Every structure is written in structure tokens, then in C-alpha cells.
Structure 1
Amino acid sequence: MRSKKFLQMQNKNIILGIDPGYGRVGIAIIEKTNKCERLIHSECFETDVKLPHFKRLLLIGEKIKEIIKYYKPWCVAVETLLWSKNKKTALQVAEARGVILFEVARANIVLREFNPNQIKLAITGYGKSDKKQVINMVEKLVKIIPKKRHDDEYDAIATALTCAAISLSTDIP
């Protein structure tokens, strides 16, 4: 159970969207207002391939902890895993996702999880949309400053927008 003091510290309009990964983690912060969603911050956090496995996981956890501390979201939306043919990659992403979920739990924040088809459906209206369609709709739904972005960053924005569309109105503490 969350304390009243903790709830006062959180910003009930801020959602953190995360596209989990081992090499790259998509991160997006959106603000839900009465009229629309506004992108506050997005990035693609990359871990150095030369670092040992456990150090890369540690860096992911530290980054998520830092983002949570700075933006104080009331909710974190995380994309669930899509099964991969490459078992090693799938396991690494699952481990990174575990570190992310740990940091969310440690911060005692509401967690929402969405699978890729739910996100595509919420953003484009079609659960089997391709990456280009999702990116195109994300750019129409929120004002994005033009810059080169990885797909992971767009996926994080889409995940946060999905959370705003599906659950924010019913879950405000």
C-alpha cells in the first residue's frame, strides 16, 4: 500500500513508457492533460556491448531509477516480451525487463503491461500494424521535435500513449 506522502510526491498526469531491451531501452515520458497527451522526454538508452552482462543490467536499472526519481510518474507502462527465435536474445531481454520491473516495484509505482498487439491496436486501430504505421501515428498523436530516433524510442512513446488511452482515466489514485 502506498503512503499518502508518496502519493503526494507523484505527478498523477505523468506516465513513463518503456520498451525493454538489453542493448537498447526505449524510454518516454508523457503528460496526460484534459485535451491531449504531451511528450515531455524520450530517449533510447544504450548499454555498451563491451561491458559484462551484469554491468549492463545494472546500468539499465540505474537509468530507470534515475528517470523515475526525476519525473515522478504515477504509472509506468511496459511492453511485454514478444517471443524471439533467438533464445539468447530473448533471455537477455527478459532479464533486462526483470530489472526494469524491479525498479518500478521498488519505487512503489502503478505498473501497466501491454503486449505489442494491444499497443498497435491502441495507436493505429489495427493490431498487426507495421513499424512505419505505428511511427506515423505516434507523430500525429504527439508533437515530436524532429530528430533521429530508434524504433525503441517510438515504441516507448506508443506504450505510454496506450496506457494513457486505456487505463489512466480509471486508475488515478
Structure 2
Amino acid sequence: MRILGIDPGIAIVGFGFIDKQGSRLTPVQYGSIQTKAHTDPGERLKDVYESVVHLIDKYQPEALAIEKLFFNRNVTTAFTVAESRGVTILAAVQKGLTVAEYTPMQVKQAIVGYGKAEKKQVQEMTRMFLNLAQVPKPDDVADALAIAICHAHSSVLTEKINGVLKR
């Protein structure tokens, strides 16, 4: 299964594609979509949408895993992140992907085993899970890969539960 992990934003959208084969996770491609500052927000969202569509077409994932929005002290930032999430989810649904959403605490739990883990711990464990030479930069990229890994771990659990229930 190929999974696209997304860390949404308006200035920087982190993305990471991983392949899950059994219990093995392999990085496919990762990076960031960066929009131009001081540009109309609608244009920035269009850039995010078109870039996500292009990435989905190019790498053909089966699932999108995206960070759930949590309330931010900066309401303006929360709204723009929510809008970016919206166009990203729209692109995924239009392309027939299944969509899963995870809170930052769920991602930390899946990666480190502790829901209140520090960001550096999550990044290092992400690097180790994917056997990368270094933690991807910017942080949004490492976060996107962590979200994809979280989904891979969650899908393993779902498969186990479904296997038990089918017996």
C-alpha cells in the first residue's frame, strides 16, 4: 500500500509518500509545497490543490493521511491551515483515495509510543523507521512522513482487528 502523508499549511505543505509491504515501510518521495508569501490566499490554495493533484497523479497513492486541525491560539493561522486541509482532502477524494485524519497526539503515540513526545523525538524515530540518513527538512516534511507512518501502523491494527472479527 502506498500512503501519502500531509502536514497541511498555507506557506508550506509537507508531504511524504511511503510504501507499506507487510511490516516494512519504505520512503518513496518526500518534500514540500511552498507558496509565495504576500500572494492572494485563493491563489495560494489553488497552488496547494494543483500541487497535491500532481503528486497524486505522479506517485499513485491509495490513501491520504493528514493531520487533524487542533485549536490554535492564532485563529487566522488555524483558518488558513483548515482551508489548506480542505483543498488537500478535496484533491484526494476526487482522485479516489481513502482519507484518514490523525491528531498530533495520535501521531506521537504511533511513532514514539508516548502522546506527549517532543518534536525532536518524533523526527528521530521517523528517520529511524524509514532508515533515512538524516531528518528531512523543513520540519513539515518530517511531520508528513510521521503522519504517513502513523497511518501505516493504524492500518496494521485495523487489519488485525478485522482478521479477528472475521473468524
TM-score by length of 1: 0.87
Superposed CA deviations along residues 34-63 of structure 1, whole A, max 9, x for unmatched, are 241001111021110032110000000001
Superposed CA deviations along residues 14-42 of structure 1, whole A, max 9, x for unmatched, are 10000111111010000111241001111
Matched, 1:88 2:44: no
Distance 1:48 1:130 in 2: 30
Count the aligned residue pairs: 159
Matched, 1:163 2:151: yes
Contact in 1 for aligned 2:135/2:142 (Cα 8 Å): no
| Unpaired runs of at least 5, structure 1 | 1-12
Shift of 1:70: 0.7
Q: SS of the counterpart of 2:6? A: strand
| Unpaired runs of at least 5, structure 2 | 163-167
1:78 alignment partner AA: I
- Report the CA distance shift for 1:35/1:101 in structure 2 as closer, same or farther (over 3 A): closer
The match for 1:19 among 7, 10, 13 is 7
Aligned to 1:120: 108
Aligned to 2:25: 37
Contact in 1 for aligned 2:32/2:140 (Cα 8 Å): yes
Deviant stretches of 4+, over 3 Å: 145-148
Q: SS of the counterpart of 2:62? A: strand
- Report the CA distance shift for 1:64/1:118 in structure 2 as closer, same or farther (over 3 A): same
Superposed CA deviations along residues 54-83 of structure 1, whole A, max 9, x for unmatched, are 000000000110011011111110110121
Shift of 1:147: 7.0
TM-score by length of 2: 0.90
Identity of aligned residues (%): 33
Q: How large is the Cα RMSD of the aligned pairs?
A: 1.5
